[in-house]
Chains A and B, each alone.
Chain A
Amino acid sequence: MSRLDDEIRKAFRRQQPSADFTERLLERVAMQPSPKPRWWQRLALLLEPPKLRWVAIGVTASLLLAIGAAQYRKLNQVVVQDDGKVAQTSPAPKPVDQETAGRTSASPGQETATENQTATRNTKHAATSSRNHRPALARLQKQQELKSEGEVAKETLMYALSIASSALNEAQKAVHDDGLKP
């Protein structure tokens, strides 16, 4: 390193501003609007000790609500599955079978043909009406089941909400008591 380098370094040494520099600056900063922190900075701020308790309470309440909602959804899904099972266990009679039955009954003679035709028509009508009524009955049954399970889910949810509410009340009371202490 040359002497010139040293001399320039000496000439350009750091200097300090006047003693009241920082004070004047802080006064100007106080007059300015404070910068807005970003969302993650606000989140970090929430996790500071005094606010942590409120955050914990909020998280607990949300968790309880989420559990209640999940339980309710689960119950709904079970009901839907049951519907599917019922539809499979009671299938409607095939139209092909009824036609063959009609044909066999009509075969003995022409005299009895009209009676047989009427009988066939009656059978068809009965089959059609039972086909129409069976799903309606099943639907009614399922509606009743759904209603009763809905009631159960509602009760569970209400219970979860009451727990959350009591937890919130206790925490609020605790915070309030802390605030009153000297």
Chain B
Amino acid sequence: MDKATAARLDDRIERSALGDQFAFEEIVRQHQGMVFSMACHFLRDRALAEELAQEVFLNLHQNLHSIKSPEHLTFWLRKVTSHRCIDQSRRQKVRPQVSLEDVPEPSMEATENDLFLSEMLRRVVDALPEKARMVVILRYQEDLDPGEIASVLDMPLNTVKSHLRRSLSVLRDKLSRTLGEVSI
């Protein structure tokens, strides 16, 4: 984020805290992609993800006075979204839990279709435990390093690293079993 954008966003945060709805709208438009994507990749349900994202922004609206800077805003949104996603997933007992072994094997060559490979990866990640799943999302969607992920998820750094290692090993294993000769 460049200085001008940061200063502008800082101004928007201040104005929103004072009740300026236009400033709040701008903040929402700027961050809705991040919040919605995290929820959507985690829950794999667009409607549920939208509802959760709305709740996160409503919560933000009530807590705007505690936001100190644009960086703090992004951190706050990631943290609240992550925790809400994990809570939602735990509450959602009706959601069918698919074990890694039960993830269906693809019936066509992945190299022929990138969309197919992406979907395959998402399904494998979806079968991971909640915290490991969120670690992968924060690492690959938000491009955070393990230290940042640890602070967002209130988790020891070594736990984050081991989650990442294990998840990548599972993904590699599953995909190489599926794709065979394709080097991943």
Contacts and interface: CB of A to CB of B under 8 A. Distances in A.
Contacts, number: 109
B64 A35 contact: yes
Contacts of A45: 18
A96 to B, nearest CB: 76
A18 B34 CA distance: 13
Contacts of A8: 121, 125, 136, 140, 171
Interface string B77-106: 000000000000000000000000000000
Interface in A1-43: 2-5, 7-18, 21-22, 24-26, 28-30, 32, 34-35, 37-38, 41
Interface stretch (B1-9, B25-33, B68-76, B153-161): B25-33
B144 interface: no
B53 A21 contact: yes
B54 interface: yes
Q: How large is the interface on A (under 10, 10 to 19, 20 to 34, 35 or more residues)?
A: 20 to 34
A10 B65 CA distance: 36
B40 interface: yes
B74 to A, nearest CB: 13
Nearest to A5: B140
B162 interface: no
B32 A16 contact: yes
Contact of B57 (A7, A9, A14, A25): A25
B137 interface: yes
Interface in A21-72: 21-22, 24-26, 28-30, 32, 34-35, 37-38, 41, 44-45
A47 to B, nearest CB: 12
A15 B21 contact: no
Interface in B26-75: 28-29, 32-34, 36-37, 40-41, 46, 49-50, 53-54, 57-58, 61-65
A32 B50 CA distance: 18
Contacts of B184: 2-4, 7
Contacts of B172: 4
B30 to A, nearest CB: 11
Contact of A32 (B33, B58, B125): B58
A22 B171 contact: no
Interface string B140-184: 110100000000000000000000000010011001000000011
27 contacts: A3-B183, A4-B171, A4-B172, A8-B140, A9-B141, A11-B118, A11-B121, A11-B125, A11-B140, A12-B141, A14-B37, A15-B33, A15-B40, A17-B33, A18-B50, A21-B32, A21-B36, A25-B54, A25-B57, A26-B24, A26-B25, A30-B21, A32-B58, A35-B19, A35-B62, A37-B19, A44-B14
Given A4-B175, A25-B54, 12 more contacts: A4-B184, A7-B117, A11-B118, A14-B34, A18-B50, A22-B32, A29-B58, A32-B58, A35-B17, A38-B65, A41-B18, A41-B65
